[in-house]
Amino acid sequence: MGKEEKRGGPVNTPKQPIIKKNWVAGLVLLAASLLATISSHEGTRYKPYYDSVGVLTVCEGITGKGVIAGKAYTRAECDALIQSRVLIAGQGVLSCVNEPINQNEYEAYTDLAYNIGTGAFCKSSIVTYLNQGNHKEACNRILLYNKAGGKVLPGLVSRRAKENKQCLTPVKKAA
């Protein structure tokens, strides 16, 4: 917890990750296209269920804290959860990537991190190659993350192919 001065003295405030990279300013961290992509990959279920590897899941692939078995979630609750989790995934990507990336790379890596977790993303060979400046190989490494529970899943093969294609697509400059 950080200390912040407020009337009457210091108060505790939660520490927020501060990302000090000047190239980040050009990225849209919660782009509508990113939310739509994740939603299309995950689908939406308002009642919690156990996914293919037995993890309690709801809405658009939300797991962990906030998922309550037996609760029926509303569209508004799912929207709030996905926006929060996508921001967390995006911040996680930016925390371990030191090489400037474009919007398409950011969205592809954030989609992946949302699915596999930011810890796994940051420890991956994707980040190693990316931070060495090898963007193409980093994008191609996305294709390796096609398994759940040790088994190749057709849905993950398809998702990774889409992420890879987006990652390798140059951003078109405005005319």
pTM of this prediction?
0.83
Residue position matching structure tokens 């509303």? 74
Whether 149 maps to a domain, the answer reads yes
Catalytic option among 4, 5, 51, 111: 51
Measured CA to CA, the distance from residue 87 to residue 28 in angstroms comes to 11
pLDDT reported for residue 23: 65
Whether 125 maps to a domain, the answer reads yes
Provide the domain limits for residue 124. 42-168
pLDDT reported for residue 66: 81
What is the domain-level CATH number for residue 88?
1.10.530.40
Whether 173 maps to a domain, the answer reads no
Residue range 12-40, pLDDT digits in tens: 333 344 445 666 767 787 788 899 999 99
Looking at the predicted structure, is the pLDDT value of residue 174 above 70?
Answer: no
Rounded average pLDDT over 118-145 = 97
**3-state SS assignment for residue 57:** strand
Q: CA torsion 35→41→46→49, rounded to 10°?
A: -140
Measured CA to CA, the distance from residue 157 to residue 144 in angstroms comes to 9
Active site residue 79: no
Whether 35 maps to a domain, the answer reads no
Whether 29 maps to a domain, the answer reads no
Active site residue 105: no
For residue 172, the number of C-alpha atoms closer than 13 Å in the C-beta half-sphere is 2
Measured CA to CA, the distance from residue 141 to residue 98 in angstroms comes to 17
- Burial letters for 54-70: b for 16+ Cβ neighbours within 10 Å, e otherwise? eeebbbbbbeeeebeee
Whether 51 maps to a domain, the answer reads yes
Residue range 60-119, pLDDT digits in tens: 999 988 899 999 999 999 999 999 999 999 999 999 999 999 999 999 999 999 999 999
Whether 26 maps to a domain, the answer reads no
Rounded average pLDDT over 40-53 = 93
Residue position matching structure tokens 């919660």? 30
Helix, strand, coil percent content, the chain, rounded in steps of 5: 50, 15, 35
Measured CA to CA, the distance from residue 63 to residue 115 in angstroms comes to 10
Q: Locate 78 and state its tokens.
A: 């799912």
Catalytic option among 4, 42, 99, 107: 42
Whether 32 maps to a domain, the answer reads no
What is the number of domains present in the chain? 1
